[in-house]
Amino acid sequence: MARKKVSVIGAGNVGAHTALWVAQKEIADVVLVDIMEGMPAGKALDMMEAAPVEGFDANISGSNDFKDIEGSDIVVITAGLARKPGMSRSDLVGKNTAILKSVIDEVVKYAPNAILIIVTNPLDIMVHIAWKLSGFPAERVIGMAGALDSSRLKAFMGMELGVSIENISAMVIGGHADSMVPLKRYSTVGGIPLPQLLPDDKIDALMQRTKTAGGEIVALLKTGSAYFAPSAASAEMVEAILKDKKKVMPCAVYCDGKYGLDGVYVGLPVILGAAGVEKIIEIELDEGEQAAFDNSVAAIRKLVGELTI
Ligand code: APR
């Protein structure tokens, strides 16, 4: 049986590391595409030369020609500008919208049956644009946000409690912005909800750190933004889909009816499998959680409403 094919558009920090995680885990063959001449081919070759050391069998190739994404099962889009210090995600909208438009045209042409995973920020807007411009059914256009935000929360929980990350589960819903909603009642350690393990002030600090985790890394790096965790989270989604794992995880999905919402992409818990988003899971939110979620949705709607696509 031939291996599955994943194309990663944008061979920068996030794209290249996504390719490496996917290949290293032998999830699929990977095609890296970028507009920078030679760069994706160079990175792909470098990774292929690492394969004998790491012992993985998967092909990684790089190209400047979108024709090479033909027949992809999944296309991960990371093309765009990364956030610089002092730059908000919203500042990126104009530039990354133009890039996304050109990429989506090529994806529709060469990989019309692929599942799209959008990584480019500002995520909530980019995924909405990708869905609209591609004309693909919403279950095949998914935003990578909750996988990353919940992984960050899990990491902070592990650091605070000094326990194995294997015991930790966490849920972050809403937008991929400071208004995101980490849910303490649905974040657990060995099945025990966080409020039973830590006092409120400690939990609040973890939640706050999660909301600003991207910015924390931007400030430390000084140039560019996070890429190890974003690429790992992207690869997690690729694996859930290609292995049809039916994994329950938060993703930015098109909400039409659930949670009393319609016509908006927002982070929610879903079942991720071979068909893409196979189900949006409705969880009970208390008053405070609902208010925070409503606030996050309103922020997304405002940004999407300002678009002129
Ligand atoms: N087609 C293909 N690739 C493109 C295009 C295009 N039209 N336009 C830009 N690119 C490429 C750039 O050449 C660059 O190599 O996208 C790549 C982006 O890589 P980086 O600048 O390293 O940015 P990265 O850190 O990978 O972040 C990419 O992911 O997490 C988000 O906020 C982040 O939106 C950003 C994206």
Q: Which of 5, 43, 89, 176 is catalytic?
A: 176
Cα 18 from Cα 238, distance rounded (Å): 9
Q: Do 64 and 42 contact (CB within 8 A), yes or no?
A: no
Each of the 309 residues of the chain gets a pLDDT tens digit; together they read 689 999 999 999 999 999 999 999 999 999 999 999 999 999 999 999 999 999 999 999 999 999 999 999 999 999 998 766 676 666 778 889 999 999 999 999 999 999 999 999 999 999 999 999 999 999 999 999 999 999 999 999 999 999 999 999 999 999 999 999 999 999 999 999 999 999 999 999 999 999 999 999 999 999 889 999 999 999 999 999 999 999 999 999 999 999 999 999 999 999 999 999 999 999 999 999 999 999 999 999 998 888 766
3-class state of residue 253 by DSSP: strand
The H helix count followed by the E strand count for the chain is 9, 14
Class of domain 146-305: alpha beta
Nearest CA among 176, 169, 186 for reference residue 143: 176
Beta-carbon neighbour count of residue 59 at 10 Å?
15
Cα 174 from Cα 145, distance rounded (Å): 9
pLDDT in tens, 14-47: 999 999 999 999 999 999 999 999 999 999 999 9
> Which residues of the chain form CATH 3.40.50.720?
5-143
> Which residues of the chain form CATH 3.90.110.10?
146-305
Ligand 1 is surrounded, with C-beta below 6 A, by 9-15, 33-36, 78-80, 82-83, 99, 102-103, 119-121, 224-225, 227, 230
Kindly report whether the global pTM for this prediction surpasses the value 0.85: yes
Joined tokens for residue 32: 């890296």
Residue 270: in which H helix or E strand, if any?
Answer: strand 262-273
- CATH code: domain 5-143 is 3.40.50.720
